[in-house]
Structure 1
Amino acid sequence: MWSTMKAGIELGTNTAGQPALLDLEELLSTRLLVQGNSGSGKSHLLRRLLEQSAGMVQQAIIDPEGDFVSFSERFGHTVVDAERSPSELQRIALRIRQHRASVVLNLEGLDAEEQMRCAAAFLNGLFDADRSVWYPMLITVDEAQIFAPAVAGEVSDEARRLSLGAMTNLMCRGRKRGLAGIVATQRLAKLAKNVAAEASNFLMGRTFLDIDMARAADLLGMDRRQAEGFRDLDPGQFIALGPALSRKPIPLRIGAVDTAGRSGRPVLMPLPDMPQAEMQDLIFVGGEADLLPMPAPSQSRARGTAELLREIEISGPLDTTPEAELDTRTEAEKQELLDSVYAEIMSDPDTAFRPAPSIYQDFLFHCRIKKLGTYGQDMPSFRKRLALARAGVSSDKGDDAWEQVLAVAESLPEEMQGVFLLLARAAREEAPCPTDEALANAYGSRSPSRGRWLLTYMSEHGHIRSEADFRGSRIVTIAGVNWRTLPGAPKAGPIKKVDPLRRAPMLPLPAARPAE
């Protein structure tokens, strides 16, 4: 029934009382989906699997309720609190892969949309790590329907898109990067199908709704009559199927665990034995005891940075003094602060390769810290200013020629505007033409060939004119204003000298000309 295991961990026992094993190496290649209604033992199952494999493979746990923080004490996992900016979470994730640390991403205290954004930034950081650190890693996502919802809910479309994209990458493309996704959900009907369908191993627990039973039976290859059996499963009992578990659906019971979460099964407690009159006095009669002191920070609920900043931003004045009611900063001072926010964001070398919506979240975070709100910078305004910043161009040039260049830039696709402005800046300053690599970076790519393609596109559409001198160096002229760059080598590095006797170029000719 159970295949020979290379690295088997014991989940529990089957109906014959024999150990029910899971092939950990096979799991790393095939992924796992766990489903069970509340009270079915789903979290207990995840805890058992993680405890048994903790010493064998690196782990990361996406924990929306803080139930797995106890792992840090028993198994040495590092707890990563999510009160951070998206870029900081991505950098932490990259270091986690470099140093092979097992972690718990604690999302407790954040609302659903903030949890989605934080999880997306963290997963993207793990996913985008360099090939040299693609070590095997289990990524466990509890309550996965929060991060990969089947339908749009009350969260913004942008947050849902970011989170769903990160979860899809994990389940669809994570295997080549050493990432093995384990997703657990209370209801299959609420989990995005393209995320659930990528799993090859299944552990299905107690389920009552027809739509969830039908999807579970479909995934396990069971008929309608057999699907009714999901209602009869006991807590802690699951139906297992998959190359890492069993070749046919079999029931198993999950074993005991060494750690415990904060939440558990409710237990009955005796009510207080108190006369009705005394209870009424406690409820309706006030006293000095009602004026409780402010709890110490360690006793109060930990709130996320985003929540605190939002409260500060929307709160009213604390008193009636003019200083509390009015923002005394001038427009120039606010603009200077806004410029410093952009400078801080652009100082991160990874900014060039991140999508604009992700960078926009960092922008809002820094604006809130400086009490700027968004200061008129909605998403379209931010994208325009970001294109200028990526090109190293100030937004206050103020002359007619720059206004014409900016108007031409707006006619280009949004992702190309920064590239065009980079060329315009070099031409205006009579600097050498940027290299293919510099153009690609302004576009958000690491591929120099992307820079060459961008030049071809803009030349064909009449925005620039690109030509090469006899040395093979490139010269770009900006249409309309006739600004012209100095010759620049397409590739980074010094230009080779010309043989003075032959007067022939020692570099290969540009791609636009036939090769010699």
Structure 2
Amino acid sequence: MKVGIDMGRTTAGTPATIDLEELLATRLLVQGNSGSGKSHLLRRLIEQSAAWVQQAVIDPEGDFVTLAERFGHVVVEADEHTEPALQSIAARVRQHRVSVVLNLEGLDTEMQMRATAAFLGGLFDADRDFWYPMLVVVDEAQLFAPSAAGEVSDEARKVSLGAMTNLMCRGRKRGLAGVIATQRLAKLAKNVAAEASNFLMGRTFLDIDMARAADLLGMERRQAEMFRDLERGHFIALGPAMSRRPLPVRIGEVETQGRAGSPKLMPLPATPVEDARDLIFTATEPEPPRYPVRRPSASASADLMARLAAGRAAPPPPAAVDEDAPPAPPPEPEETPEQAAEREARYEAVLREVLADPEAPYRSLAVLYQDFLVRCRGHGVEGDRLALPAFRRRLTAARAGAGMTGDPAWERATAAAAALEEDIQPVFLLLARAALDHAPCPSDPEVARACGSRSPGRARRLLTYMEQRGHIVTRNGLGNTRSIALPALGWETALGDPNAEAPADGPAGPARAGDLPGGA
């Protein structure tokens, strides 16, 4: 399902949009000197996509915490939690699909790098069942992925750079889409910047940064001078999610504002010199604390993790009862059997829409589930009632057993598959369907597609793994044919060519089932 994020207008006056699904697959790099409107651009992207995808914002200056009031982001105060606690919080963020802002404002540079590494590590190492699509926005990325050693320790730089590299290089398969912003391309590690396929380049003055920006956009060096002339909030866009050619874009307005904002001139107070001396050199009561006051990390961690487990920010304390206030609305009635049946029918219709996409067999389960939820929203049905494990089982059965609803033999096959590892269930059901229909044995490309791959070699390794564990028995026939028996059911497929091409509309199992159990 294509979702266009409105970022503003082009110089021609047409809407400037970003394809959100393409952005999740290809990542984004934003570059601009201080005052170019870089943070404004990030805020516009976050606000416009908040309703469509989960978000995590790495915020070194505490500028994005205002998103919490308008869009419901949970603010994680990094200075109140230990590194292991931040890693656990990040795992819960992915599990419960909560959008968060990691506020690093109360930490020095080295501690910011360590906290960011722990948090990104928790997002990256989440369980496979929770690999939902997620935008990870990192402001001032040159702090966390520096191109050269600085004043921080080598250990802090190493762990931070490793976490950023994992995000940009390996995060896509885990549903993590990095959006990184930097003031200086020359200070950003090249292996991190090179993984982005989309670029938004703003006002830049230093020659080395202009040259790198021109190289990334495929422009000639003599054209790099144009970056000095860009106005605040104007960027040059390029990438598969935006435009195939460099496109000038003016970023639109935002709904929230940062806590600091741009400095404004204002007159000095008219204070006599003697009074000014008294104000400076005379202590007042009480004196402000020299350092930020930090709450105990253990209680803060427990409080925030409980909020994440609830799936939303903690509710405010109950207000005092007002006898003159109108009565509270009655609770929503429970779902009737007829309503439940109608909801199930809508689920089936939405699932058929998801499976109608030719690329569906090769997409990750988390992406398919996100697509399912978005389509459910369009149909006016609560998709969240169908949890991810139930969606996985329904998806597997729908692909392998289309048209088999109510067949006792097929119910027996699905019961036998439920006792196996989740990774091999789709292939088992594919073979069971062929045996039940007395059809030829599925070819290696068909088996590969059932597990979300285009590699026949992966299919052969998976069939070998299943045979070693006694789930199937392979018999070879004449003319390079084979049949596969299922001992648990007492069924066997007809002879078929293992090298035959998979039909365009053939059965296919859940996408990207992952590594084989036991490392097969």
TM above 0.5, yes or no, is yes
SS of 2:203 mapped into structure 1: coil
1:284–1:272 Cα change, 3 Å:
closer
Distance 1:176 1:77 in 2: 24
Name which of 178, 183, 192 aligns with 2:180: 183
Name which of 10, 13, 17 aligns with 2:13: 17
SS of 1:281 mapped into structure 2: helix
Query: How far has the Cα of 1:86 moved from its partner?
Result: 1.3
> For each residue in 1:387-418, what CA deviation from the matched residue of structure 2 results, as whole angstroms up to 9, or x when unmatched?
xxxxxxxxxxxxxxxxxxxxxxxxxxxxxxxx
Distance 2:152 2:281 in 1: 43
Distance 2:109 2:45 in 1: 26
Task: With a CA cutoff of 8 Å and minimum separation of 6, indicate the structure with the bigger relative contact order.
Answer: 2
Name which of 156, 173, 178 aligns with 2:153: 156
> For each residue in 1:136-187, what CA deviation from the matched residue of structure 2 results, as whole angstroms up to 9, or x when unmatched?
0000000000000000000000000000000000000000000000000000
Query: How far has the Cα of 1:291 moved from its partner?
Result: 2.6
AA of the residue aligned to 1:283: A
- Asked if the contact 1:145–1:192 (Cα under 8 Å) also holds between the matched residues in 2, the reply is yes
1:304–1:46 Cα change, 3 Å:
farther
Structure possessing the higher radius of gyration over alpha carbons? 1
- Residue in 2 that maps onto 1:220: 217
Distance 1:216 1:251 in 2: 14
- Residue in 2 that maps onto 1:92: 89
Distance 1:67 1:81 in 2: 13
1:267–1:129 Cα change, 3 Å:
same
Name which of 7, 20, 24 aligns with 2:3: 7
**Unaligned residue ranges in structure 2 (runs of 5+):** 298-520
> For each residue in 1:347-385, what CA deviation from the matched residue of structure 2 results, as whole angstroms up to 9, or x when unmatched?
xxxxxxxxxxxxxxxxxxxxxxxxxxxxxxxxxxxxxxx
1:62 is the counterpart of 2:55 = no
Query: How far has the Cα of 1:269 moved from its partner?
Result: 0.7
Query: How far has the Cα of 1:268 moved from its partner?
Result: 1.1
Distance 2:158 2:100 in 1: 25
Distance 2:170 2:291 in 1: 41
Name which of 70, 75, 81 aligns with 2:77: 81
AA of the residue aligned to 1:291: T
- Residue in 2 that maps onto 1:52: 48
- Residue in 2 that maps onto 1:194: 191
> For each residue in 1:469-508, what CA deviation from the matched residue of structure 2 results, as whole angstroms up to 9, or x when unmatched?
xxxxxxxxxxxxxxxxxxxxxxxxxxxxxxxxxxxxxxxx
SS of 1:11 mapped into structure 2: strand
> For each residue in 1:226-282, what CA deviation from the matched residue of structure 2 results, as whole angstroms up to 9, or x when unmatched?
1000000000000000000100001000000000001222111122345xxx2x102
Q: How do 1:119-130 residues align onto structure 2 when only pairs under 5 Å count?
A: 119-130=116-127
- Residue in 2 that maps onto 1:233: 230
- Residue in 1 that maps onto 2:31: 35
Distance 2:277 2:83 in 1: 48
1:213–1:287 Cα change, 3 Å:
closer
1:199–1:304 Cα change, 3 Å:
farther
1:292 is the counterpart of 2:285 = yes
Distance 2:255 2:145 in 1: 30
1:206 is the counterpart of 2:189 = no
1:242–1:284 Cα change, 3 Å:
same
- Residue in 1 that maps onto 2:250: 253
Q: How do 1:455-466 residues align onto structure 2 when only pairs under 5 Å count?
A: none
TM-score by length of 1: 0.56
| Identical residues among aligned pairs (%) | 72
Query: How far has the Cα of 1:305 moved from its partner?
Result: 7.1
AA of the residue aligned to 1:182: V
TM-score by length of 2: 0.55
1:214–1:260 Cα change, 3 Å:
same
1:262 is the counterpart of 2:251 = no
1:281 is the counterpart of 2:274 = yes
Distance 1:48 1:286 in 2: 42
AA of the residue aligned to 2:2: K
Query: How far has the Cα of 1:301 moved from its partner?
Result: 3.9
Distance 2:280 2:6 in 1: 57
- Asked if the contact 1:217–1:226 (Cα under 8 Å) also holds between the matched residues in 2, the reply is yes
1:201–1:292 Cα change, 3 Å:
same
- Asked if the contact 1:127–1:177 (Cα under 8 Å) also holds between the matched residues in 2, the reply is yes
Distance 1:183 1:251 in 2: 20
Q: How do 1:114-513 residues align onto structure 2 when only pairs under 5 Å count?
A: 114-274=111-271, 278=272, 280-285=273-278, 290-295=283-288, 301-303=292-294
SS of 2:126 mapped into structure 1: coil
Aligned length: 296
Distance 2:278 2:82 in 1: 47
Distance 1:107 1:188 in 2: 22
- Asked if the contact 1:110–1:303 (Cα under 8 Å) also holds between the matched residues in 2, the reply is no
AA of the residue aligned to 2:139: D
CA-based RMSD of the aligned residues comes to: 1.9
SS of 1:20 mapped into structure 2: strand
SS of 1:290 mapped into structure 2: coil
- Asked if the contact 1:109–1:302 (Cα under 8 Å) also holds between the matched residues in 2, the reply is no
1:55–1:286 Cα change, 3 Å:
closer
Distance 1:287 1:238 in 2: 45
AA of the residue aligned to 2:39: S
> For each residue in 1:419-471, what CA deviation from the matched residue of structure 2 results, as whole angstroms up to 9, or x when unmatched?
xxxxxxxxxxxxxxxxxxxxxxxxxxxxxxxxxxxxxxxxxxxxxxxxxxxxx
- Asked if the contact 1:78–1:101 (Cα under 8 Å) also holds between the matched residues in 2, the reply is yes
- Asked if the contact 1:109–1:303 (Cα under 8 Å) also holds between the matched residues in 2, the reply is no
1:305–1:144 Cα change, 3 Å:
farther
1:287–1:245 Cα change, 3 Å:
closer
Distance 1:286 1:139 in 2: 46
